[in-house]
Chain A
């Protein structure tokens, strides 16, 4: 059986990766300490720590060259995350892996997108439309896979539809695949893995990883608690969703950005906050943030919406300390 090893190196979650591993390697946990798996182990820990520290997985040419390590490291990394058994880490890891895949598909060609889609049984149809090969999805599939808060271009009313099928661009399919990949990886990290079944030396390294994650999580949560002491619930909610890597709508991002600017955050801090957006583009994000901060265009700072406007947007979720205030910036606990 032939395998496209470079494709599997890029997208090691594909079903063929299992076949590749079964065909060529008889890997069990005890074998993992063997010399031939040293690279894979290193890469597995690297994947998880990159996800924690940078919220992204770096994929370079060297990873393609050592495709064996790249392919094997993925299920090991998944096992590490499963053994850690933390929902926040699951989301962070899965989002980082999925984002890496999206970037690879974006830089690749349409054939690659089609291959990944086919391997994942993603329901796209390639058909001739007015003399051009065009991608479609059945409406029910499109509605199932397209997340709800991705903004107007994704709403059915704004799509080109014909005879029960929605036209989709290759890049849009890559974006939809990213979400499916993320969900797939989260699911895989939910299996029961007991770290005590790891070989001895691996347990030691695993414990180091656990310490790193816990320390990171404490920092994040402490920062969140401190920073959010007088942050109104509407903004806490937006911040949490942003941190989880959810794709906030344009209105939600603008609302959050104007609030952060008004509370004295720097442009770099805002860039840091928004880089967890699945479709983060540094150049565009910086331009938009600077515009909202009054550093570009008409050089006029955009104001944070009032509570009334937040209610109209459907973004108001008041708690007891919201009583009597008319603006999120006036919120104070106690």
Chain B
């Protein structure tokens, strides 16, 4: 890990100042602003200031420009007295917030992961316990994996569809953000959600993750015929089953090679039957044992993988939209539904476009603002300031 020099810190602060001056309008707190607890970190993230409240978003934006905090948060809950200690705040209601990142979706651990030795400065790809050269401690460096980002984006899109189509939430009440690190945040500010107690929130999370799902309540055999109820989770399973049928060769755990040709040949008919909730034809083609595997695969893919602790914790502080994330000095910014599944970093808010000279120890290929950078290895480069800030924050870059 490259030690953060004074000039790097000053550079990061100047980028923050430029960002908050240019893009302050992106900073957002769901109303009522004055009833939310606000928190932020100082001392390069070492110190956390909590239990603050502000009368208006303008005052928060002024704080950001005046103090340039490293991370900024707002509570998901609305309180009577947001500045009082926990237990005395008087919770009025809590919005629904979801955090989806590669860890939950099962992203690749090693593709964009590096280690850097704290002692000898050597480095490598992947995750190790100790330096393979000198045996001392290493620092883990995780870059954004752009393949994972699109996979996580698709998961966020899946979540949004369920929130609107199944759970009846309004599109306008749901906001999706790139988190500023590796994943997405989905935030629901709706009167429907305000009525939920802890049990209700758990039921929503279980509905998404299929916790406690009983297959036999949806997949039914009656009068010798197999069918699936099409509402709720049943509809999600049918959708995934259709996807498997579209490209059966990609799902060997669900469709054995021996059944491939028949599936492809009868695809249209299977699709029609599935859309009517009938599983007869697919059962006939696959046989009992493989049918069970096919269902299992469809059910597994119907799950939405979110960090349930985030959604269930009503005392949680959530990263404030429009603010910079210390983990990569990138902003948490709103993302249109259509952008999910693609590289959202091609649409970074505009800041730090001027170039700086930076030494980079190690970094993979990076795609931002429709440009490709790197990979880098022990070299000096002239890069846009926003990217230099990202690399410095990751501990692999320093200004020259």
**Chain B positions within 8 Å of A143 at CB level:** 196-197, 199-200, 203
The answer to whether A164 and B168 have CB atoms under 8 Å apart is yes
Q: Nearest CB to that of B163 among chain A residues?
A: A164
**Chain A positions within 8 Å of B234 at CB level:** 160
Q: Nearest CB to that of A141 among chain B residues?
A: B195
Instruction: Tell me whether A164 and B192 are in contact in the complex, defined as CB-CB below 8 angstroms, given that A139-B168, A155-B203, A157-B212 are known contacts.
Output: yes
The answer to whether A157 and B211 have CB atoms under 8 Å apart is yes
The answer to whether B231 and A160 have CB atoms under 8 Å apart is yes
The answer to whether A140 and B195 have CB atoms under 8 Å apart is yes
Instruction: Tell me whether A162 and B200 are in contact in the complex, defined as CB-CB below 8 angstroms, given that A139-B168, A144-B195, A157-B212 are known contacts.
Output: no
Q: Which of B195, B203, B214: most chain A CB closer than 10 A?
A: B203
Instruction: Tell me whether A153 and B217 are in contact in the complex, defined as CB-CB below 8 angstroms, given that A161-B232, A162-B166, A162-B231 are known contacts.
Output: yes
Q: Nearest CB to that of A163 among chain B residues?
A: B168
Any chain B CB within 8 A of the CB of A203?
no
Any chain A CB within 8 A of the CB of B207?
yes
**Chain A positions within 8 Å of B26 at CB level:** none
Q: How far is the CB of B299 from chain A (nearest CB, A)?
A: 11
8 A Cβ contacts from A130-169 to B: 138-140, 143-144, 148, 152-153, 155-165, 167
The answer to whether B169 and A164 have CB atoms under 8 Å apart is yes
Instruction: Tell me whether A140 and B192 are in contact in the complex, defined as CB-CB below 8 angstroms, given that A157-B233, A160-B234 are known contacts.
Output: yes
Any chain A CB within 8 A of the CB of B213?
yes
Q: How far is the CB of A131 from chain B (nearest CB, A)?
A: 15
Which of B168, B199, B212 interacts with A158 by CB under 8 Å? B212
Instruction: Tell me whether A164 and B167 are in contact in the complex, defined as CB-CB below 8 angstroms, given that A143-B203, A144-B195, A159-B232 are known contacts.
Output: yes
The answer to whether B168 and A160 have CB atoms under 8 Å apart is no
The answer to whether A161 and B167 have CB atoms under 8 Å apart is yes
Give the distance in Å from the alpha carbon of A155 to the alpha carbon of B211 in the complex: 10
**Chain B positions within 8 Å of A161 at CB level:** 166-167, 207, 231-233
Which of A139, A155, A165 interacts with B212 by CB under 8 Å? A155
Q: Nearest CB to that of A159 among chain B residues?
A: B232
Give the distance in Å from the alpha carbon of A153 to the alpha carbon of B213 in the complex: 9
8 A Cβ contacts from B163-182 to A: 165-169
Q: How far is the CB of A117 from chain B (nearest CB, A)?
A: 19
**Chain B positions within 8 Å of A153 at CB level:** 214, 217
Any chain A CB within 8 A of the CB of B339?
no
Give the distance in Å from the alpha carbon of A218 to the alpha carbon of B232 in the complex: 50
Q: Nearest CB to that of A153 among chain B residues?
A: B217
Q: Nearest CB to that of B201 among chain A residues?
A: A143
8 A Cβ contacts from B56-93 to A: none
Please tell me the number of chain B residues within 8 Å of chain A, measured between CB atoms.
Answer: 28
**Chain A positions within 8 Å of B210 at CB level:** 157
Give the distance in Å from the alpha carbon of A165 to the alpha carbon of B166 in the complex: 8
Q: Nearest CB to that of A147 among chain B residues?
A: B199
Instruction: Tell me whether A152 and B165 are in contact in the complex, defined as CB-CB below 8 angstroms, given that A143-B203, A160-B234 are known contacts.
Output: no
Give the distance in Å from the alpha carbon of A155 to the alpha carbon of B204 in the complex: 10
The answer to whether A156 and B204 have CB atoms under 8 Å apart is yes
Give the distance in Å from the alpha carbon of A102 to the alpha carbon of B1 in the complex: 69
**Chain A positions within 8 Å of B281 at CB level:** none
Instruction: Tell me whether A167 and B231 are in contact in the complex, defined as CB-CB below 8 angstroms, given that A156-B204, A161-B166 are known contacts.
Output: yes
Which of B192, B211, B233 interacts with A139 by CB under 8 Å? B192
Give the distance in Å from the alpha carbon of A156 to the alpha carbon of B160 in the complex: 17
Instruction: Tell me whether A152 and B217 are in contact in the complex, defined as CB-CB below 8 angstroms, given that A160-B232, A161-B166 are known contacts.
Output: yes
Give the distance in Å from the alpha carbon of A28 to the alpha carbon of B398 in the complex: 88
Give the distance in Å from the alpha carbon of A167 to the alpha carbon of B230 in the complex: 12
Which of B199, B204, B211, B214 interacts with A148 by CB under 8 Å? B199
Any chain A CB within 8 A of the CB of B242?
no
**Chain A positions within 8 Å of B207 at CB level:** 156-157, 161
Any chain A CB within 8 A of the CB of B229?
yes
Give the distance in Å from the alpha carbon of A148 to the alpha carbon of B199 in the complex: 7
**Chain B positions within 8 Å of A144 at CB level:** 195, 197, 200
Any chain A CB within 8 A of the CB of B206?
yes
Q: Nearest CB to that of B233 among chain A residues?
A: A157
Give the distance in Å from the alpha carbon of A143 to the alpha carbon of B194 in the complex: 12
Give the distance in Å from the alpha carbon of A100 to the alpha carbon of B98 in the complex: 44
Which of A140, A152, A162 interacts with B232 by CB under 8 Å? A162
Which of B165, B168, B206 interacts with A156 by CB under 8 Å? B206
Q: How far is the CB of A262 from chain B (nearest CB, A)?
A: 28
**Chain A positions within 8 Å of B213 at CB level:** 157-158
**Chain A positions within 8 Å of B200 at CB level:** 140, 143-144
Q: Nearest CB to that of A161 among chain B residues?
A: B232
**Chain A positions within 8 Å of B204 at CB level:** 156
Give the distance in Å from the alpha carbon of A165 to the alpha carbon of B192 in the complex: 12
Q: B230-268 interface mask toward A, CB cutoff 8 Å, 1 = contact, 0 = none?
A: 011110000000000000000000000000000000000
Q: How far is the CB of B240 from chain A (nearest CB, A)?
A: 15
**Chain B positions within 8 Å of A157 at CB level:** 203, 206-207, 210-213, 232-233
| Chain A to chain B: the 3 pairs with minimum beta-carbon distance, closest first | A164-B168, A161-B232, A160-B231
Interface residues of A (CB under 8 A from B): 138-140, 143-144, 148, 152-153, 155-165, 167
16 pairs, A vs B, C-beta closer than 8 Å:
A140-B192, A140-B200, A143-B196, A143-B203, A144-B195, A144-B200, A153-B214, A155-B206, A155-B212, A156-B203, A157-B212, A157-B213, A158-B217, A161-B232, A164-B166, A164-B169
Known contacts A157-B206, A160-B232, then 11 further A-B pairs from the complex at CB < 8 Å, ordered by chain A residue: A139-B168, A140-B195, A140-B200, A143-B197, A143-B200, A155-B206, A157-B212, A160-B229, A161-B232, A163-B165, A163-B168
